Amino acid sequence: MSAVTAAAPTERTSRVQSRMRAMWGPLKSAFRKVDPRVQWHNPVLFLVWCGSVLTTIIGISEFWTGPADSGGLRLPAGFTWVIAVNLWLTVIAANLAEALAEDQGRFQAARLRSTREGSTAHRVGRYDPRADADASDAVTTDVSSIALRPGDIVVASAGDIIPADGEVIWGIASVDESAITGESAPVIREAGGDRSGVTGGTRVLSDRIVVRVTVPHGKTAVDKMIGLAEGAHRQKAPHELALTALLASFSVSFIVIALTVNAIVSPFALPVSVPVWAAVVVCLIPAEIAALLSVTGVASMSRLVQNNVLADSAHALETAGDITTVVLDKTGTITQGDRRATHAEPLHGVSRDELLRAAVASSLRDPTPEGVSAIALARESGIDIGALEERGRSGRTVLFSAQTRLSGIDLPNGSSARKGAESAILAWLKHVGTQPSRAVVDELKRATSTIARAGGTPIVVAAKLADEPGRILGVIHFKDVVKPAVVARISQLHALGVRTVMITGDNPLTAKSIAAEAGVDAFVGDATPEDKLALVKREQADGHFVAMTGDGTNDAPALAQADVGVAMNSATAAAKEAANMIVLDDDPTKLVEIVETGRRQRATRGALTTFNIANDIIRYFAIFPPLFVAQFPGLDKLNILRLHSPASAILSTVIYSVAVIFILIRLALAGVPYRLVDLGRALNLNLLYYGVGGVIFAAVWIKLIDLVVSLIPGY
């Protein structure tokens, strides 16, 4: 029993010591930030710093001159020093707020650094993508990941750490990204699709891939994540800069008042001392907002990093709070993205084997999941894939692209095969001089409509034999499913007042079925990259702020045009370059967190501003009447809090102004919860909670502090 009793205090002592160590880092950082070269970047806090220095100098001079009166009042001994100490505490509290915000990401940053340091890369000397695509015969050299440059080719096998951000150009592998995303489940990265992007510091679990480096050392996703986590070199967003300028102008106005009031009242009253004026200015200028404005930005960026989202600038996060329309790509975003061929439906007069052989021929060199799946379906159905591959080696491959929306092969004997979207196949047949009969087109439309209404994707297969007209052979049914969490996340976007639009290159009927299942507001089918770009522009022309998710090269133009472009970390290099936010764990529904974080930042800044203005009302009546009450006793009627004495009123207000910064730090770090309500109601609630609440809070605490200060002799 005694051992257990003895252990409890030891455990409590350990917790206390741990908390003290955790606070020591931010405290040291706060004292370092007192440097005037740092304070100069925040005009309001620089004024507080100047007031602190001036009051300290006057306090030192009073050792020889003695304390000066203020407005006819005999101030208590040491009053100037008490004011100076509290002004310095205001400066330290303001800097501690930002130091605490930056400290939130330091642990994560330290963990991330270990993933980027010390990795070895197997760099390929001369890479030939045609003769040696898998680099099995190439000479590789082991180099440090720091030595890699964009364009270098590296090989990564099972157990290797991927040395740099890049794009898979050959192979498929299972990759562990838990060091970056925190997700324990491995992910698949493969060449030729929209999941070809890899991140430096992740580990290959199986198979072998060839990677082209796309980002130089120091600018990788991990480096960006470290910078965001630490809040290093954070650039202020336009709204923050504008608000900083407004706060500075308010502060200057109070400085002008302090410099001119003594001259104005000199015929009627004795002058107010400089330390008292310094106290008045520091209490009434928006020091709390100036201190916590950057904290809200650092905390918001850190919150995004914790959600595995990288924002390339504070402006992108700020814009996220304005988003009213979200454009979602279907495949891989709303649906699983791994469409698989489930069965083949030949048209009248066509055998199933003939349809499958044509599907295989058009998919021989198609690296997309659809091409691989079509071949797998044919193999399961007993089609001799080897013979078709041998025949196809001499053919010319037509690769799939978002513009053509089809793939296929042209053989030397004049035969061709194509598979793709219905409209694309009909256009190809027209191009080769074939016009299918009305009956065939009607049968095709019935087949594609049936598949589309069931939520599948119909891929039409056509072939043209030498010296014969082309003909439609049938339809392959590809099935994709809506991600389990998507419906709930889209509902959350609706609750935030955000309109959702799904865009896809699939048949419009398929798009309609998936859109209804997912619950999006609108959809666009048969979309090309130009259509995606046009949709974003159209929404912006209608006055909407648009966010778009995408991961393919064909999404890059629309991502660049969108106000907030969100790319997955597995996306192609072009998509990640065009986007201004990257989701490290490839979860496109993180748009909810992105919008909420942007709006919470804005709501927090609004709440802090309202609270500060409400506080100033009380502080004005607490600190202004005592300035001249000794010569104008009638001013005592403005002492609405019935504070004990002029000296007590001034000191109590100064102490409160210091304490309230410490109190508001937690609010600035956590943020104000954002709930969608009517704009007028939102304003009323804000005024009620942080306006009226700010008045009551300040009045109560200044009065309580005054009761304590009044117990000190001389006050």
Residues 154 and 165 in one domain: yes
Q: Read off the tokens for 37.
A: 């070269």
Chain-centre distance of CA 17, in angstroms?
Answer: 34
| pLDDT tens track for 553-573 | 778 888 889 999 888 877 777
What residues make up the domain containing 318? 309-334+483-586
Q: Read off the tokens for 476.
A: 């392959």
Strands (E) across 193-302 are located at 197-198, 203-213
Write down which residue in 481, 509, 529 finishes a domain: 481
Q: Is residue 113 part of a domain?
A: no
Residues 477 and 398 in one domain: yes
| Average pLDDT in the chain | 81
Residue 273, Cβ neighbours under 10 Å: how many? 23
Selected residue with higher pLDDT from 4 and 181: 181
Write down which residue in 193, 217, 241 finishes a domain: 217
Residues 647 and 678 in one domain: yes
| pLDDT tens track for 203-221 | 888 888 999 998 887 776 6
Q: Is residue 634 part of a domain?
A: yes
| pLDDT tens track for 325-334 | 999 887 767 7
Give residue 3's pLDDT band: very low, low, confident or very high (50, 70, 90): very low
> Is the CB of residue 485 less than 8 Å from the CB of residue 589?
yes
Radius of gyration of the chain (CA): 34
pLDDT at residue 62 in the model:
82
Give residue 655's pLDDT band: very low, low, confident or very high (50, 70, 90): very high
Residues 606 and 698 in one domain: yes
Mapped onto helix, strand or coil, the DSSP state of residue 416 is: strand
Give residue 679's pLDDT band: very low, low, confident or very high (50, 70, 90): low
> Is the CB of residue 549 less than 8 Å from the CB of residue 490?
no
Task: Identify the weakest region by mean pLDDT among 167-171, 444-448, 681-685.
Answer: 681-685
Question: What does DSSP assign to residue 223?
Answer: H
Cα–Cα distances (Å) from 358 to 389, 416, 467, 471, 615, in that order, read 12, 9, 17, 11, 77
pLDDT at residue 6 in the model:
47
Per-residue 3-state assignment (H helix, E strand, C coil) for 454-519: CCEEEEEEEEECCCCCCEEEEEEEEECCECCCHHHHHHHHHHCCCEEEEECCCCHHHHHHHHHHHC
Give the CATH number of the domain where residue 153 resides. Answer: 2.70.150.10
Residues 470 and 346 in one domain: yes
Tally of domains within the chain: 5
Q: Is residue 224 part of a domain?
A: no
Q: What is the average per-residue pLDDT within 461-478?
A: 88
pLDDT at residue 652 in the model:
92
Give the CATH number of the domain where residue 539 resides. Answer: 3.40.50.1000
Residues 368 and 475 in one domain: yes
Q: Is residue 222 part of a domain?
A: no
Compute the distance between CA of residue 322 and CA of residue 238 in angstroms, rounded to an integer: 14
Compute the distance between CA of residue 275 and CA of residue 13 in angstroms, rounded to an integer: 42
Whether 481 has a pLDDT exceeding 80, the answer reads no
E strand or H helix at 406: strand 406-410
Overall size of the chain counted in residues: 715
Whether 517 has a pLDDT exceeding 80, the answer reads yes
Ramachandran quadrant class, 631 (left: phi over 0; alpha: psi -120 to 50; beta: rest)? alpha
| pLDDT tens track for 296-325 | 877 888 788 778 888 877 778 888 888 899
Residue of 194, 150, 149, 186 whose CA lies nearest to 168 = 194
Compute the distance between CA of residue 301 and CA of residue 297 in angstroms, rounded to an integer: 6
Give residue 575's pLDDT band: very low, low, confident or very high (50, 70, 90): confident
Residues 5 and 46 in one domain: no
Task: Identify the weakest region by mean pLDDT among 24-38, 98-112, 371-385, 580-594.
Answer: 98-112
Task: Identify the weakest region by mean pLDDT among 25-34, 427-436, 697-706.
Answer: 25-34
pLDDT at residue 101 in the model:
65
Whether 620 has a pLDDT exceeding 80, the answer reads yes
Residue 581, Cβ neighbours under 10 Å: how many? 25
Give the rounded percent of residues in the chain with a pLDDT score beyond 70: 87
Compute the distance between CA of residue 524 and CA of residue 503 in angstroms, rounded to an integer: 5
Compute the distance between CA of residue 558 and CA of residue 565 in angstroms, rounded to an integer: 8
> Is the CB of residue 556 less than 8 Å from the CB of residue 533?
no
Catalytic residue among 160, 176, 223, 329: 329
Q: Is residue 655 part of a domain?
A: yes
Residues 364 and 412 in one domain: yes
Q: Where are the alpha helices (DSSP H) in 624-686?
A: 646-670, 679-686
Cα–Cα distances (Å) from 460 to 229, 429, 550, 625, in that order, read 49, 12, 25, 85
Give residue 503's pLDDT band: very low, low, confident or very high (50, 70, 90): confident
Per-residue 3-state assignment (H helix, E strand, C coil) for 296-337: HHHHHHHHHHHCCEEECCHHHHHHHCCCCEEEEEHHHHHECC
Residues 477 and 352 in one domain: yes
pLDDT at residue 338 in the model:
64
Q: What is the average per-residue pLDDT within 259-282?
A: 82
Q: Is residue 115 part of a domain?
A: no
Cα–Cα distances (Å) from 330 to 366, 504, 523, 524, 695, in that order, read 21, 6, 9, 10, 50
pLDDT at residue 85 in the model:
92
Whether 122 has a pLDDT exceeding 60, the answer reads yes
pLDDT at residue 538 in the model:
92
Task: Identify the weakest region by mean pLDDT among 109-113, 400-404, 410-414, 492-496.
Answer: 109-113
Q: Is residue 239 part of a domain?
A: yes
Whether 681 has a pLDDT exceeding 90, the answer reads no
Give residue 704's pLDDT band: very low, low, confident or very high (50, 70, 90): very high
Whether 582 has a pLDDT exceeding 80, the answer reads yes
Compute the distance between CA of residue 506 and CA of residue 504 in angstroms, rounded to an integer: 5
Q: Read off the tokens for 631.
A: 């010569």
Residue of 621, 618, 548, 551 whose CA lies nearest to 586 = 551
Q: What is the average per-residue pLDDT within 480-499?
A: 83
Q: Read off the tokens for 397.
A: 């491959």
Give residue 599's pLDDT band: very low, low, confident or very high (50, 70, 90): confident
Selected residue with higher pLDDT from 685 and 520: 520
Write down which residue in 159, 183, 217 finishes a domain: 217
pLDDT at residue 4 in the model:
45
Selected residue with higher pLDDT from 447 and 29: 447
What residues have CB less than 8 Å from 135, skipping those under 6 apart?
124, 127, 153, 155, 170, 210
pLDDT at residue 618 in the model:
92
Residue of 504, 501, 500, 509 whose CA lies nearest to 475 = 509
Task: Identify the weakest region by mean pLDDT among 73-87, 115-129, 500-514.
Answer: 115-129
Compute the distance between CA of residue 325 and CA of residue 348 in angstroms, rounded to an integer: 45
Residues 104 and 241 in one domain: yes
Selected residue with higher pLDDT from 228 and 386: 386
Compute the distance between CA of residue 173 and CA of residue 134 in angstroms, rounded to an integer: 13
pLDDT at residue 501 in the model:
92
Selected residue with higher pLDDT from 99 and 471: 471
Residues 541 and 436 in one domain: no
Q: Is residue 566 part of a domain?
A: yes
Residues 357 and 388 in one domain: yes
Compute the distance between CA of residue 252 and CA of residue 246 in angstroms, rounded to an integer: 10
Task: Identify the weakest region by mean pLDDT among 32-41, 102-111, 163-172, 176-185.
Answer: 102-111
Tell me the HSE value of 345 on the side-chain side, using a 13 A CA sphere.
18
pLDDT at residue 364 in the model:
82
Question: What does DSSP assign to residue 395?
Answer: S
| Amino acid found at 670 | A
Is 329 a catalytic site residue? Answer: yes
Whether 406 has a pLDDT exceeding 80, the answer reads yes
